A and B are shown apart, each in its own frame.
Chain A
């Protein structure tokens, strides 16, 4: 069962009309059990991407390159290197080529490696981190196929595994290696790490963050404001296990251990479900409000759901905007 708020993007909530005009493209169903059984991260990513591409046929992550737009008459002060001399030969008049700004899409992948991401409530599911890594690898693979620059960093107690965006195949392999062997555990300070990333990244990058976003809202808001100020675009993929969303296992009674800080509580899920869900939903609502206010995208994904569904929605919207 999925709650109404568990799929989709926060940013798209303010653009219902746009979504209606550009619905997500149909995607092939994903066999989550098969996905979980695939032995390596590249394979999982490829499985996802192939599934996605077989439904779309072209990449929506089209960036900006050196593209001609129009001619205009030469004016004093224009750089002579922009004069089209061939046209001058034919037309005997000076024209200047006008281009779009020369930019490449910089996709920066950020993976939360906190202890809470190592959780899975059922054996057949991926852990939240595996699910997130697969997602990031798939996104990276999409970007890499159209030669966009891809960077990566791991969010933990401190930022680690930082690699500047690059587009070479070797760089891509290095990114996959970083994603494949993260050091999991402990408490993550996502906000602090994001602020560090903002210091390190050039302006105007696309940050794809996978995390459960168990973060204090004010701290997260501060970090996101910084990213927004620097012109970055943020796609937050909040990865949650079904148990976190529903807290619905009546048999779950005993000592609950916090995977991040190691705290323990003796309780029964059935007894505390109501208050848990109240708190959880309040946090989710605050997150949605935060991302919507920043005009960033937030997609909440359950590890028992098709990971492409939310990405597809996001990419469809992005394609339209572009």
Chain B
């Protein structure tokens, strides 16, 4: 048992007070003459003994309460006692990917292990990883063999260098160690971007010795590649050469894991630029791109990953309708546009959310379509509901919180919300006029949606409902000739095209960096990287290595490209290495370590983890409550 604030233990001497009072007041001052005690027989005497025991219990409770209070304020914890004559060493490890250059990692690791090897029994050491934020790999421990083993086993990471947080943290940790010698072993490559933001006038705490690594050999050949843009037939890459001399490299492009092309590239010294390389995509849909330069001294940034999508336009699921199907014709008419639409019959069982569904009639609201529709809605699919008054459609809409009411007379559309993206294309054309002239023999007023257009009586004729990522467009009319002449108007095809374009699911960002939390589209699923065996994952994950990640769940397969930070590729060292030596404080330690010092970070952490003080104070309160209850039953 160790105490964080042992001075409070002195308060435990107050235990003597109740004992003293107990002894002084042991015999009550009040004497009561009584004719005869003969009737205070054995049972009464038992009660008297019980009373005496009660008073002792009260005394013990008082003592315990005081002891618990004193112990609680002294903040006890279970921890190993530290020899104040020992050394404490923290190895701060730069786990950014620049450490992979050449033999840096191996050299620096061996150097750090050498530093640890001088420690003896009673010393303590810890390993602290700098990135993405300072955190213990091995906490401060006297088990030096374990520390060395962990360091030997450690592999370089793919993080980005930031030295300042680690510098501050290690300084404070070492400052609080009650050891004679405090040493910070700085296992880093002194990259320039790492030291950015460090105030060199602010030294480490006095008494903390900063041990910098030996000067590292320069990186002779270092280039990097990253993906700037992916098109259907090409990929634009950003190539950078950090060497002083021109470099000739071979670039390989892989599509969906298969080599798609190989290109020799010439990279001028200390230059960067974007270049476009052709790719061959044989089928539509998402595809992966891997651009790899032949390895140089820092191979980690010689490969870049990306996700492309060869899909052109949007595919639409069309619910069955009576001939002629004007919507199908309108979709077909968009083939020549830059964003063409394609119509497919709506499947019975599964509707991927990358499609847009047009819901009309009552067929899609019956089994087996209904289950697929519910799953589609649950997964965030986008749909257009053309109200035709069928009962099943009405019921389904009601379950979504939308009610429809038939108009009592022919309806005329007006009050279009021209600020909405669907109508953006109409504002500069005569087509807007045709929208304002639309009238229907049969129409339904909609409630429970945001209005896009209204009937003449003020009720909603066209509305939208957006929940999360899903969109629902509802028109209070259908496109049959029986309802009106809308399909014959000039605005029909543009409106269908704009509406379905707006309903087309947007591509979410799928390019991420190492250390960046990535949201997953489902709570559970399987995640694999670069085709390796998958693991269970859900909600989100934080990648530690670059690559193509594939997440498969009930809602489909989602691809993510994870790359490393471009800034980290620059191997330039901090220009003035003398600055680093300035971080060492020349002042002597303000408080010499003493044998009584017991405040340590490990102790503080241990105390905070155990929270024994809380339990002790709670016990003290309990003792006092019981004591109060019992003392009221004793003779004063």
Contact = CB atoms under 8 A, between A and B. Distances in A.
Nearest to A270: B633
Given A119-B33, A267-B47, A268-B51, A256 B40 contact: yes
A116 B48 contact: no
A253 B36 contact: no
A185 to B, nearest CB: 12
Contact of B48 (A257, A267, A278): A267
A48 to B, nearest CB: 23
A276 B40 contact: yes
Interface stretch (A1-9, A162-170, A258-266): A258-266
B37 interface: yes
Nearest to A257: B33
B51 A116 contact: no
Contact of A265 (B29, B43, B45, B633): B45
Interface string A108-121: 00000001110100
B35 A128 contact: yes
A85 interface: no
A228 B28 CA distance: 48
Contacts of A265: 37, 40, 45, 48
B48 A275 contact: no
Contacts of B30: 253-255
B217 interface: no
A43 B82 CA distance: 92
A214 interface: yes
B415 interface: no
A35 to B, nearest CB: 21
B81 interface: no
A280 interface: yes
Contacts of B34: 119, 243, 256-259
A302 to B, nearest CB: 13
A246 B7 CA distance: 55
B35 A266 contact: no
Given A119-B35, A259-B33, A276 B44 contact: yes
Contact of A254 (B29, B35, B41, B633): B29
B28 A275 contact: no
A213 to B, nearest CB: 11
A128 B34 CA distance: 12
B430 interface: no
B27 interface: yes
Name the 3 nearest CB pairs between A and B, nearest first: A254-B30, A116-B35, A279-B39
Contact of B51 (A128, A241, A266): A266
B35 A271 contact: no
Contacts of A253: 28, 30, 635-636
Interface in B155-177: none
A166 to B, nearest CB: 33
Contacts of A128: 35
A257 B31 contact: yes
A257 B40 CA distance: 12
A268 to B, nearest CB: 5
Given A253-B636, A266-B51, 10 more contacts: A214-B36, A254-B28, A254-B29, A254-B32, A255-B32, A256-B34, A265-B40, A266-B635, A275-B41, A279-B39
Contacts of B43: 275, 278-279
B41 A279 contact: yes
Given A272-B47, A275-B47, A279-B44, A266 B28 contact: yes
A283 B39 CA distance: 9
Nearest to A240: B35
Interface in A271-320: 271-272, 275-276, 278-280, 283
Interface string B625-636: 000000001011
Interface string B27-69: 1111111111111110111011001100000000000000000
B36 A259 contact: yes
A185 B44 CA distance: 25
Contacts of B31: 254-255, 257, 264
Contacts of B633: 271
Interface in B1-49: 27-41, 43-45, 47-48
B36 A267 contact: no
Given A257-B33, A280-B39, A275 B44 contact: yes
Given A267-B635, A271-B51, A276 B39 contact: yes
B40 A275 contact: yes
A271 B30 CA distance: 16
A59 to B, nearest CB: 33
Contacts of A260: 35-36
A278 B47 CA distance: 14
Interface residues of B, number: 25
Q: Which of A116, A214, A253, A272 has the most chain B CB atoms closer than 10 A to its own CB? A: A272
A256 B37 contact: yes
Contacts of A268: 51, 635
A83 to B, nearest CB: 62
Contacts of A177: none
A258 B37 contact: yes
Interface string B241-261: 000000000000000000000
A244 interface: yes
Contacts of B27: 255, 266
Given A266-B27, A275-B44, A244 B52 contact: no
B328 to A, nearest CB: 98
A220 to B, nearest CB: 14
A257 B27 CA distance: 13
A214 B48 CA distance: 22
Given A267-B51, A275-B43, A279-B44, A241 B35 contact: yes
A252 interface: yes
B28 to A, nearest CB: 4
B214 to A, nearest CB: 83
A212 interface: yes
A115 B34 CA distance: 10
A53 B473 CA distance: 118
A239 B383 CA distance: 106
B44 A267 contact: yes
B47 A271 contact: yes
A305 to B, nearest CB: 17
Interface in B507-523: none
B28 A258 contact: no
6 contacts: A253-B635, A257-B34, A258-B35, A265-B45, A266-B52, A279-B44
A252 B36 contact: no
Interface string A64-96: 000000000000000000000000000000000
A284 B635 CA distance: 29
B194 to A, nearest CB: 78
Interface in A203-230: 212, 214
Contacts of A279: 38-41, 43-44
B35 A267 contact: no
A252 B34 CA distance: 11
Contacts of A241: 35
Nearest to B39: A279
A253 B633 CA distance: 11
A257 B32 contact: yes
Nearest to B634: A268
A119 B36 CA distance: 10
Nearest to B54: A271
Given A255-B27, A267-B44, A244 B635 contact: no
Interface in A21-78: none
Contacts of A256: 32-34, 37, 40
Contact of A263 (B37, B47, B52): B37
A280 B41 CA distance: 10
Contacts of A117: 35
A267 B38 CA distance: 14
Q: Which of B33, B45, B633 has the most chain A CB atoms closer than 10 A to its own CB? A: B33
Contacts of B45: 265
A239 to B, nearest CB: 10
A115 B43 CA distance: 25
A220 B390 CA distance: 112
